[in-house]
Amino acid sequence: MPSVLETLERYYDAAPRSSADARSVGPLTLFVPRAGWPYYARPRLWLDRPLTVADVLVVRARQRELGLPETFEWVSQTTPSLEPVARAAGLVVSHHPLLVLAATPNPTVPTTTAVRPVGADDPDLDRVLATVALGFGAPGVARGATGPAERDAHAADSDPLRPYMRARLAEGHSVMVAAYDPAHLEHGPLAGGSHSPVGDVTELTGIATLPAARRRGLGAAVTAALVADAQARGVGTVFLSAGDEDIARVYERVGFRRVGTACAAAPAG
C-alpha cells in the first residue's frame, strides 16, 4: 500500500495534465500550460537521484524560452536535494505546511453563514474568484478593511485566469463553493474555495475569505463543504498546503494533520 506522500506524488504528477502538457527536462517534469494557469516544474515521478544546480538551470532556461514563469514546486520530504540546489541556482524558496484530512471537519457553522456550489455559468463566479484573489492578496488570518466594494471592483476588471477556471468547472476538473451571509445576500460572496479531484485524491485550493469578513467561521464552512463534496464523489484522500503556520493551525483544528512540507521556488521579486 503506498504511503501518504507517495499518494500525493502521484496526484501532483497527474493533476496538471488536464490543462498542461508534461515535458521531461532531465530529471524534472515541466508542465507547459495549454491555456490559463502558468504551471511549474516538478521533480520527475519516482526520481532516484539527487538533483543538481545544472538540472535547475537547464529547466529555467527552457522556461524562459517558452515564456513561462521560472517556478518549481516539490515536497521537501520526497525530494530533499532540490532546496539547496534551487537556492544555489538563484531562486527563493518558500515553505508551506502540507496537511491531509484525518477526520471529517465538523465546524460550528454560524447561522449567519450559507454555503453553496458555484458552477461555470453561475453569475457570481467572477465575484467568488475576486474574493479568493483579494483574500490571498492579504495573507494571514487577521481582519482587514477589504470587503464587498473592493471585491466588486476587482471582479469588474479583466483577468485571464477566469476563463481558465470557468473551463475547469465546466469540464469537471474543479469544484467551487462560496459562503454568504443569508441575512444579507446583497453583500454577495464573502469566502470561496475549490477542490480538484483526480481519481480518489483531491487537493483543496484557493480557500480564502474577504479580509473584512474574517473570523466568522466562513473559511471553515467552505472547507467542510468541499470535503463533503469530495467524499460524496468517493474521494479517499483530501489534502492541502497552507499558506503559513497560523493558517495550518486553523486546518489542524478542523481535522487535518501535517504530513510534510510543500516547497515552492521562484526568482526574487
What residue ranges define each of the domains in the chain, with the CATH number in brackets? 4-97 (3.40.630.30), 114-253 (3.40.630.30)
Contacts of residue 77, defined as CB under 8 A and 6 or more positions apart, other chains included, come to: 5, 260, 261
Cα(145)–Cα(82) distance, integer angstroms: 39
Partners of 42 in the β-ladder: 29
User: pLDDT at position 185, please?
Assistant: 82
Q: Residue 104's pLDDT band (boundaries 50, 70, 90)?
A: confident
Higher pLDDT, 113 or 45: 45
Pairing of strands 237-241, 201-209: parallel
Structure confidence at residue 109 (pLDDT):
57
The mean pLDDT of the chain is 93
Mean pLDDT value across residues 129-156: 92
Region class of 42: left (phi > 0), else alpha (psi between -120 and 50), else beta = beta
Q: How much is the pLDDT for 1?
A: 67
Higher pLDDT, 104 or 221: 221
One-letter amino acid at 215 equals R
Q: What is the pLDDT of residues 86-103, one digit of tens each?
A: 999 999 999 999 999 997
The Cα diameter of the chain in Å comes to 58
Strand boundaries in the chain, DSSP class E: 20-25, 28-33, 41-43, 72-75, 91-101, 114-117, 175-180, 191-198, 201-209, 237-241, 256-267
- Residue 253's pLDDT is 86
Please tell me the predicted confidence (pLDDT) of residue 119: 96
pLDDT interval class at 226 (50, 70, 90)? very high
Cell numbers 539527487 correspond to what residue? 50
User: Tell me, what's the pLDDT at 141?
Assistant: 83
